[in-house]
Chains A and B, each alone.
Chain A
């Protein structure tokens, strides 16, 4: 009887991952350990092992992904910070005037048109997922000092 119960539990735990809830002011970035405070820049991944990792900025997510090799990415829509987007399908804008928690100066939006609009208004540049990842990876992103 107990074994059946156990099996049910084990099976029940193998559910498809959803974007995680983020407790702002409490959850810490899995890469830099900073406490996640700002919803528009908060993002998350699911690793190959099914572990959920949360980040306070995009550069942390991409730097950490070198090691964790995620199978899913989630980012917040800058225009609707309570809404998650599929990170791979989202579009990104990088602008010097943006102050982000870890200095990525990047935001995410749902559509290319919105990204281009934002890029224009912020005097920045629009990127796809792959492009922004290359942009923010450590090899191209030394310690950002002016």
Chain B
């Protein structure tokens, strides 16, 4: 066996082995491997250094990053290896030491040397295993797991861990172990071969080995170089800034706040869904992108997100619930750095929307911004820009905030935004050289307001319906070098307002504003060219002519231009001139603006045009006006339209109400329902007529008792101290010549005239119980005056209802009195006799026990008279008590039981009927015609016989009773005198009552009822249900009946129908024209429609009301039907109230029909007109009409004749509509009245009250009425409408009550 001998250089071998052992041992504490991670947020990158005992370096940071990609913590890798690393390497070092001491045996050399040779390979292999294990087994729930695919980190060289770049290399410890292995190899080789290595291998090999060894060291150093922070490989060394993309989702553990904190500048943070609460401050350049509308919720505190670094981008978020403190300007988005972009976000419930401060070149676009639901005064600005030049605000939608306001910023571009329901749509304050273009501004208080700015262009915008406080479409206050072009400014209260400015206004449309252009101060050059100033209520308003000297107008289209284009060049041949008298007047006292929109103002201006002598100074002169405007621009309103069906229902409802209000008189069936029906058959009448069992006249009760009745008309005493009584069933005649007072007595007994003394009928006082009295009295006047346009049946039914009599009775009477065939004839078509009969039937409707008849046969021929007297006899036979006036002997002879003779209102005699007849007859004469040659003989014969005769030429008159007229005839015949003709005639003068044989003056009859010293109520006989107290209808029922009749009469009133037709037609036309062009121009014409209806209401409605009221009582007087009505069982107040209510219904119906028609048009046009103000205007119009109606009624009560009443009311209308305003204007100018005084003075006129109320209703404020309007608002606050409505109600009530009082006090017939 060959033994190992000591080879030469054994000492060297031992040294190498010992060194190797030491190196191995030392490597325990040396890093074996390192990986460098390029993480942008770490400028120096991250390093993980692997030792045999574990990992060191930036393990915690790397673990933090690895967590997001689902990699396990590094500390959990290689647990076994870490545990055995120290003992293992120690053992290997010990083995080398032993090897150094034991040069033999050979197998021991290799055995002890193998481990040290294996360490590098084992380490590398094991490391690769774990790298692979970690990289391929990522946690799927990690936040970035969706983005990162499994990978194998590099063992050496560049690679990727997740999204990070890495570089790996072996570290010094690895190379130390490698060196130990080389030394061990050399030593063992020498021992085994006893040769130097270099003796074995050739020199080249030696050199290559040396070079390889050197290369190994070099590689080690190179690797270190790559992964050191200053190396070019490191991110910092390379200057590499690759932005990272962070993803924040609800499931990840990464909050947005954390992401913002962790992200490096220029990183992108993608936020996918979720709600993120708190206040976010971005203090580095980041791009924040929201996907799936993630919400940033400020929780009601401060600003939600604040971009403090330049070039930030905020996109795609819902941002809400900022704080609500104005002073700290809590915002949705606050930007205080330049070059940021805020786009595609939705801001809700934020106080300030996007607030820029010193944020030049910021872009705000495609955002939707909705304000907090707060009162306007407490809202913030939706876009507020402060010292931020060259900002762009584009394609945003802003609703309901305060302003879009731009302060101290130049070069701002505001383009294609849609701004609704804000205070100021765009508001410039000290902003120069900016552009406002293509925006749609609608429903704001002010559309665009340029203040203290220069070089601003406003182009191609649509500015619609700015009607809030100020109410300007485009306002200029101290604006210079302005260019205003191609804008559509429509439906605003003021289209363009200029208070000191300088600019060029070209090709703009000022369409249907209340005021097209309002110039307060424009002394600097302003050019208006090519504009269309179309259908504004007031085209141009100027506060002072000399304050607008710098304005030049040329080539504009004026819709009120009254010129012509002769040569077809599109330009007018005569200049357009605007002259407004009222503007000039109001300039002298601005409080007179209170009269704006009054018809009197328009009349003033119209009059100025008619009479050039009084024409005011010209305000506007356009030398070459356009004659054709061209097509208007198309607009689409963005306001949500109101429910159209509501309009349809409302309009139809108004029309129905109007039509119902004009319904005809109720039918007979309805007539029964009006009053409590009492079925009374004809048998009752026959029973009541059977008085055969009555006691003698003297024991019958008193039915009529009059004591000391006196009636005066001024100084004339028509009835003087008259006393009489009438018993039940008795007929008393009042005899006297015309003017004796007969009719006056009857009217007194009916309560139609006031009188002194007392009168009882059926025990009821005429003065205190007039209604009951009239229920029991039937009255037939001398002249029959019934409503001529009513038919016989209508008349009967009407009066039956007034008396509470069922319709069957009326029908029965028609049949009984042979009037059925004339049922449908109008009263005016009846003959005198038929009228008389009808009047009697009316008097008998309630089968009254007492009949008062005035000259019952006065206007009848002989045949009719006989028939009539026969009728009256029948009534007398039925037991009715008759009191009638007459100067017809036959009436007395036929009917009267007693006669009271009247002369000049005094009773001169009271006789029985027989006495009267005899006396009458005594005063009569027989007219004899004899041959002339026998005349003297005849005279002598008669005189000798004791007759009172006179005569000549064959005509002899003999005073003789009618019954004894034969006696003189016989005498003459016996004397042989021929009587050619004879005729007995009644006395031609009133008889001499003293010639009565059995009576003395004042006719004492033992049975005269006037012997009763006191008026004693008679014992009442059997009550007929028809005329009893209980049968009398209630007064409110009669009011309703009269109101119905009034409505029916109005339908036959031509004046009223004409006015109503005008009102309805104009309502339709005005509404139609006011709303025309909805589809074309998109302007709703809100202000114009109601302004037109306002004027219409101010002119037509008062006229209708006044005329209706004036004719209500006066017509009855003209027709002389008033006393016929008042003879019915109703009070004067009932009559007046019934008429007033009826006319109120009629007028109300007309107004409802007018407004209903207007509402239908609005519905059909689909216009966006608010319903509630429309209905409130309707209510105010009704109040206006009714107040004028009450005034007219008052006139009707005071004035006797209808024509005079109409005349007075027309004057009153002129006064209220025009004259009073002119008086106020004169007074205000002369006395320089203050606004407060002028206001209250003007409100004395109900038309002005109405006008102011409507303006308050439509505009929400009274600013348009100038300082007086502002005063009213300050004085009355929220109570403006209630107070004005109350004044109108007072105007309704007061004249009505006055009319009622006067009518009741003065009596119906004067």
Pick from A23, A25, A34, A146: contact of B1273, CB under 8 Å: A23
Inter-chain contact B1271/A144, CB cutoff 8 Å: no
Q: Cβ of A4: which chain B residues have Cβ within 8 Å of it?
A: none
Using an 8 Å CB-CB cutoff, how does the interface string of A110-146 with B read, 1 for contact, 0 for none? 0000000000000000000000000000000001111
A13 and B1236 in contact (CB under 8 A), knowing A20-B1274, A52-B1270?
A: yes
| Most chain A CB neighbours (cut-off 10 Å) among B376, B472, B499, B1274 | B1274
List 6 contacting pairs A-B, 8 Å CB cutoff, sorted by A: A13-B1236, A28-B1263, A33-B477, A35-B446, A35-B469, A38-B326
Whether the Cβ atoms of B469 and A27 lie closer than 8 Å is yes
User: Of A26, A27, A37, A52, which one neighbours B1271 at CB under 8 angstroms?
Assistant: A52
Q: Mark B637-650, 1 if CB is under 8 A from A, else 0.
A: 00000000000000
By the criterion CB–CB under 8 Å, are B408 and A32 in contact? no
Which of B423, B451, B591, B1237 lies in contact with A32, CB distance below 8 A?
A: B451
Contact across chains for A33 and B499 when beta carbons are under 8 A apart: yes
Q: Are B469 and A144 in contact (CB under 8 A)?
A: no
Main secondary structure on chain A at its contact with chain B? loop
Whole-angstrom distance between the Cβ of A17 and the nearest chain B Cβ: 10
Binary per-residue interface labels of chain B (473-496) against chain A in the complex, 1 for a CB within 8 Å, 0 otherwise: 001011000000000000000000
Residue of A nearest to B1240 (CB): A9
Which residues of the partner chain B approach A25 to less than 8 Å between Cβ atoms? 375-377, 423, 469
Quick one: which of B387, B451, B1267, B1274 contacts A21, CB cutoff 8 A? B1274
| Least CB separation from A49: chain B residue | B1234
Q: Does B429 sit within 8 A of A, measured CB to CB?
A: yes
Residue of B376, B475, B1240 near A13 (CB, 8 A) is B1240
- A24, A28, A51, A143: the one contacting B377 at CB < 8 Å is A24
Flag whether B497 is at the interface (Cβ < 8 A).
yes
| Cross-interface CB contact of B469 among A9, A13, A26, A143, cutoff 8 Å | A26
Shortest distance from the beta carbon of B1043 to any chain A beta carbon, whole Å: 31
- Given A35-B445, A51-B1267, A52-B1270: A145 in contact with B430 (beta carbons within 8 A): yes
Contact status B429-A103, CB under 8 Å: yes
Give the residue name and chain of the B residue nearest to A9 (CB): B1240
Q: Which of B469, B499, B591, B1234 has the most CB of A within 10 A?
A: B469
Question: What's the Cα separation between A13 and B451 when bound, in Å?
Answer: 37
How far is A89 from B475 in the complex, measured between Cα atoms in Å? Answer: 35
Decide: B408 and A145 in contact? CB cutoff 8 A.
Answer: yes
- Output the least CB separation between A140 and chain B (Å): 16
Chain A residues with CB under 8 Å of B429's CB are 102-103
Report, as a range, how many residues of chain B touch the other chain: 35 or more
Q: Are A13 and B1277 in touch, CB under 8 angstroms?
A: no
- Contact yes or no, B470 A35, CB < 8 A: yes
Q: From A145, which residue of chain B is reached at the shortest CB distance?
A: B430
Chain B contacts for A51, CB-based, 8 A: 590-591, 1234-1235, 1267
B1232 on the interface (CB 8 Å rule)?
yes
| Contacting residues, chain A, for B1235 (C-beta < 8 A) | 50-51
User: A21-B1274, A25-B423 in contact; A37/B1237 too (CB < 8 A)?
Assistant: no
Measured between alpha carbons, how far is A13 from B445 in the docked complex, in Å?
32
Determine if B402 is an interface residue (Cβ-Cβ < 8 Å): yes
Chain A residues at the B interface, C-beta cutoff of 8 Å: 6, 9-10, 13-14, 20-21, 23-28, 32-35, 37-38, 49-52, 102-103, 143-146
A33 and B1274 in contact (CB under 8 A), knowing A10-B1237, A143-B478? no
Asked whether any CB of chain A lies closer than 8 Å to the CB of B452, the reply is yes
With a cutoff of 8 Å between Cβ atoms, the chain A residues found around residue B478 in the complex are 143
Cβ of B499 and Cβ of A146 under 8 Å apart?
no
A50 touches B1234 (CB 8 A): yes
Q: A25-B469, A35-B470, A51-B1234 are in contact. List 17 more A-B contacts (CB 8 A).
A: A6-B1244, A24-B377, A25-B423, A26-B468, A28-B470, A28-B1263, A32-B477, A33-B497, A34-B451, A35-B424, A35-B446, A35-B469, A50-B1234, A143-B430, A144-B430, A145-B430, A146-B408
Instruction: For the complex, give the distance between the alpha carbons of A47 and B820 in Å.
Output: 81
Which residue of A23, A24, A28 has the most chain B CB atoms within 10 A of its CB atom?
A28
Provide the bound-state CA to CA distance between A144 and B431, in Å: 10
- A92-B1157 Cα distance, complex, nearest whole Å: 60
Q: Name B1257-1295 residues within 8 Å CB distance of A.
A: 1261, 1263, 1267, 1270-1271, 1273-1274, 1277
Residue of B nearest to A23 (CB): B1273
**Cα A50 to Cα B430 with chains together (Å):** 33
Please give the distance in Å from B272's CB to the nearest CB on chain A: 39
Question: Quick one: given A28-B469, A28-B470, are A33 and B1277 in contact (CB under 8 Å)?
Answer: no
Does A13 contact B1234, Cβ atoms closer than 8 Å? Answer: yes
User: Residue on B with the closest CB to A37?
Assistant: B377
Contact of A37 among B402, B446, B1241, B1261 (CB under 8 A): B402
B449 at the interface (CB under 8 A from A): yes
State whether A35 touches B452 (Cβ < 8 A).
Answer: no
Write the nearest CB–CB distance from B326 to chain A, whole angstroms. 8
Chain A residues whose C-beta falls within 8 Å of the C-beta of B430 in the assembled complex = 103, 143-145
A32 to B429, CA, bound (A): 11
A22 → chain B closest CB, angstroms = 9
Q: How many angstroms from the CA of A14 to the CA of B1233 in the assembled complex? A: 10
Residue of B nearest to A39 (CB): B377
> Which residues of the other chain, B, contact A32 by a CB distance below 8 angstroms?
451, 477, 499
Does the CB pair B1237–A14 fall under 8 Å? Answer: yes
Question: What 1/0 flags go to B56-95 for Cβ under 8 Å of A?
Answer: 0000000000000000000000000000000000000000
In the complex, the answer to whether B449 meets A13 with C-beta atoms within 8 Å is no
Tell me the bound Cα distance from A61 to B1240 in angstroms: 28
- Shortest distance between the CB of B274 and any CB in chain A (Å): 36
Chain A, residue nearest B478 (CB): A143
Per CB-CB distance, the 3 closest pairs between chain A and chain B, nearest first, are A25-B377, A24-B377, A25-B376
Do residues B1241 and A33 form an inter-chain contact, with CB atoms below 8 A? no
Please, which residues of chain B bring their CB within 8 A of the CB of A145? 408, 430, 432
Q: Separation in Å of the A20 CB from the closest CB of chain B?
A: 5
How long is the Cα–Cα vector from A52 to B1273 in the complex, in angstroms?
A: 12
A10 nearest in chain B by CB position: B1237
Per-residue interface assignment for chain B, residues 1008 to 1045, with 1 indicating a CB less than 8 Å from any chain A CB and 0 otherwise: 00000000000000000000000000000000000000
* Distance in angstroms between the alpha carbons of A24 and B430 in the assembled complex: 24
Distance in angstroms between the alpha carbons of A50 and B387 in the assembled complex: 41
Instruction: List the A side residues contacting B423 at CB < 8 Å.
Output: 25, 35, 37
- Distance from A35 Cβ to chain B, minimum over Cβ atoms (Å): 5
Within 8 Å CB of A34, what residues of B? 449, 451, 470
Provide the bound-state CA to CA distance between A146 and B432, in Å.
Answer: 12
Q: Which residue of A lies closest to B402 (CB)?
A: A37
By the criterion CB–CB under 8 Å, are A143 and B452 in contact? yes
**Shortest CB distance A28–B (Å):** 5
CB of B1237 within 8 A of CB of A49, answer no
Q: Is the CB of B1277 within 8 A of A21?
A: yes
Among B375, B470, B499, residue most surrounded by chain A Cβ atoms (within 10 Å): B470
A21, A24, A38, A50 — which one has the most chain B CB atoms within 10 A of its CB? A50
Q: Is A10 touching B451 in the complex (CB atoms < 8 A)?
A: no
Task: Tell me the nearest residue of chain B to A32, going by C-beta.
Answer: B477
Bitwise, B1228-1250 to A at CB < 8 A (1) or not (0) is 00001011110011001000000
B514 to A: closest C-beta gap in Å: 16
Residue of A nearest to B590 (CB): A51
- Could you say which residues of chain B place their CB within 8 Å of the CB of A37? 376-377, 402, 423
Q: Which residues of A contact B470 (CB under 8 A)?
A: 28, 33-35
Chain B residue contacts of A9, Cβ below 8 A:
1240-1241
* CB-nearest residue of chain B to A144: B430
The answer on a CB contact under 8 Å between A50 and B452 is no
A102 to B477, CA, bound (A): 12
Q: Within the complex, what minimum Cβ distance (angstroms) separates B356 from chain A?
A: 14
CA A24 – CA B377 in complex, angstroms? Answer: 6
Cα–Cα distance between A32 and B477 once the two chains are bound (Å): 7
| A10–B1243 CA distance with the chains assembled, in angstroms | 12
- Chain B residue numbers with a CB within 8 Å of A35 are 423-424, 445-446, 468-470
- Inter-chain contacts of A24 with B (CB < 8 A): 377
Known A-B contacts A50-B1234, A146-B408; the reply to A33 vs B472 at CB < 8 A is yes
A103 to B1234, CA, bound (A): 33
Q: Which residues of A contact B408 (CB under 8 A)?
A: 145-146
